[in-house]
């Protein structure tokens, strides 16, 4: 079987308007939260991505009934209450967000068995903080044959300080604490917009959560029968939004990125401004105007509100054709420079040293066959291909499909010479 690839040719300034779909890193966690109360849910602004299908299959194996209508960006989820407390390995290994069933099932039912999660391959991302936080609330764990078996007749409120503001650990601890007896305080909690989205949905369901969006989240436990199903709109995807900003900028284009939320990527947009990119907030999005020549800058990845690690491949792609030398420092996932060799195949001048990438801009990139090692790196290769002489063909595009809702179609609508082949 011939696998699909993405073919990109240069030459066109991107011009027009593009809509940003719902957030991958939010919708998957909202879907898991539907395990917490019986009844019928509706999620809207749902992106048409493969990870939603995988998560739906996982939750279906646990016992939820899910109808996905991609044309209407809508999920209908029915929780009958009679759930299986086992998350099967063959589905868990495909998607790291599968770990997000741990908190809801353990908090509600007192037991869950889940395989250690998979997802993108860019270095170790252990779940130690998930387990230690839940243990502080009274959970006991057995890890055997690649499975985590968690048991807690009842969770109890605790004061938990995370070693690092982990998004996944914060999400699992918040969902578990909703049903814990007493009050749970999570210090050094992650502050990402996707966590705010999850907490807002939980509050609408009847949870009692304070400090949403801050580094200290307080959860006052409720009884297991006090939550109710809700309808909820997923926030826009800030990484997809940043991708269209980068695509417009690298081509010297002028694009309105509709539904982009500037507050969700404030630091990134500030740094883009330092590169000479004009980004003006609009009524419902941002207007992006790319410069004749990008300026090189130094960038450091940090937890929100800093520059997210998911943005970094896009930044490196832009720096590869900027006017001087920029240094990008990765503070979160040291293995996340594996796509650099692919950019080098396009003629980029990049040297890595530990968790630093030194990017010396070149006048032009040159098209070549490359492969996408993960979701965001794949998108960055597409962006680089927009200004690479000749033809760039990206393989392993299943990674891109996991996180991007019709990237090819949206770029083509702006005038890009791009197609799936």
Q: In residues, how long is the chain?
A: 421
Tokens representing residue 83 in the block? 């759930």
Q: With contact defined as beta carbons under 8 Å apart, do 336 and 309 qualify?
A: yes
For residues 203 and 95, give the distance between their C-alpha atoms in angstroms, rounded to a whole number: 26
Largest CA distance in the chain: 63
Tokens representing residue 361 in the block? 């801009």
Tokens representing residue 386 in the block? 């927009």
Tokens representing residue 311 in the block? 């943005």
Q: With contact defined as beta carbons under 8 Å apart, do 272 and 279 qualify?
A: yes
Element spanning 379, H or E = helix 375-385
The conformational region for residue 16 under phi > 0 = left, psi -120 to 50 = alpha, else beta, is: left
In degrees, rounded to 5, the angle at the alpha carbon of residue 168 between the alpha carbons of residues 165 and 173 is 85
Q: Which of 19, 50, 51, 120 is catalytic?
A: 120
Tokens representing residue 188 in the block? 């050094």
For residues 257 and 21, give the distance between their C-alpha atoms in angstroms, rounded to a whole number: 11
For residues 391 and 412, give the distance between their C-alpha atoms in angstroms, rounded to a whole number: 15
Cross-strand pairs, 329: 300, 356
Task: Please indicate whether residue 120 is annotated as part of the active site.
Answer: yes
Q: Residue 69 contacts by C-beta under 8 Å, 6 or more apart in sequence?
A: 75, 76
Q: Strand, helix or coil at 168? A: helix
What is the DSSP code string of 302-366?
-STTSB-GGGHHHHHHHHTTSSSEEEEE-SS-TTTTTTHHHHHHTT-EEEEETTEEEEE--S-EE
For residues 84 and 253, give the distance between their C-alpha atoms in angstroms, rounded to a whole number: 51
CA-CA-CA-CA torsion sign (353, 355, 358, 363)? positive
Please report, for residues 6, 98, 414, the alpha-carbon distance to residue 29 in angstroms, rounded to integers and kept in the order given: 29, 9, 31
What is the DSSP code string of 65-110?
EEEEEGGGTEEEEEE-S----EE-HHHHTT-GGGGGGHHHHHHHHS
Residues classed as catalytic: 120
């Amino acid at each position: 079987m011939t696998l699909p690839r993405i073919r990109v040719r240069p030459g066109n300034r991107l011009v027009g308007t593009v809509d940003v779909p719902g957030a991958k890193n939010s919708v998957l966690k909202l879907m898991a939260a539907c395990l917490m109360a019986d009844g019928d849910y509706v999620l809207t602004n749902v992106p048409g991505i493969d990870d939603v299908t995988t998560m739906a299959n996982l939750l279906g194996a646990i016992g939820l009934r899910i109808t996905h209508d991609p044309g209407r960006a809508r999920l209908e989820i029915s929780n009958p209450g009679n759930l299986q407390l086992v998350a099967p390995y063959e589905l868990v290994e495909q998607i790291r967000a599968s770990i997000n069933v741990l908190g809801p099932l353990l908090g509600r039912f007192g037991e869950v068995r889940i395989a250690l999660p998979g997802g993108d391959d860019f270095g170790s991302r252990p779940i130690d903080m998930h387990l230690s936080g839940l243990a502080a609330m009274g959970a006991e764990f057995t890890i055997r044959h690649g499975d985590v078996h968690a048991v807690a007749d009842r969770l109890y409120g605790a004061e938990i300080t995370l070693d690092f503001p982990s998004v996944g650990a914060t999400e699992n601890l918040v969902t578990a604490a909703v049903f814990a007896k007493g009050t749970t305080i999570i210090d050094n909690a992650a502050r990402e917009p996707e966590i705010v989205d999850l907490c807002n949905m939980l509050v609408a369901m009847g949870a009692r959560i304070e400090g949403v969006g801050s580094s200290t989240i307080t959860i006052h436990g409720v009884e297991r029968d006090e939550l109710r199903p809700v309808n909820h709109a997923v926030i826009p995807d800030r990484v997809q939004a940043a991708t269209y900003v980068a695509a417009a900028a690298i081509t010297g284009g002028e694009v309105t990125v509709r539904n982009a939320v500037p507050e969700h990527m404030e630091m990134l947009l500030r740094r883009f401004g330092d590169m000479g990119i004009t980004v003006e907030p609009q009524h419902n999005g941002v207007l992006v105007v790319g410069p004749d020549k990008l300026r090189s800058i130094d960038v450091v990845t940090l937890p929100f509100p800093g520059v997210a690690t998911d943005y970094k491949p896009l930044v490196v792609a832009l720096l590869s054709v900027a006017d001087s030398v920029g240094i990008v420092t990765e503070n979160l996932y040291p293995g996340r420079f594996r796509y650099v060799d692919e950019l080098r195949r396009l003629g980029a001048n990049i040297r890595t040293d530990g968790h630093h990438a030194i990017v010396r801009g070149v006048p032009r990139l040159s098209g070549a066959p490359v492969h996408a090692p993960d979701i965001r790196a794949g998108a960055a290769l597409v962006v680089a291909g927009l200004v690479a002489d000749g033809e760039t063909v990206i393989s392993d595009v299943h990674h891109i499909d996991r996180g991007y809702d019709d990237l090819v179609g949206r770029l083509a609508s702006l005038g890009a010479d791009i197609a799936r082949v």
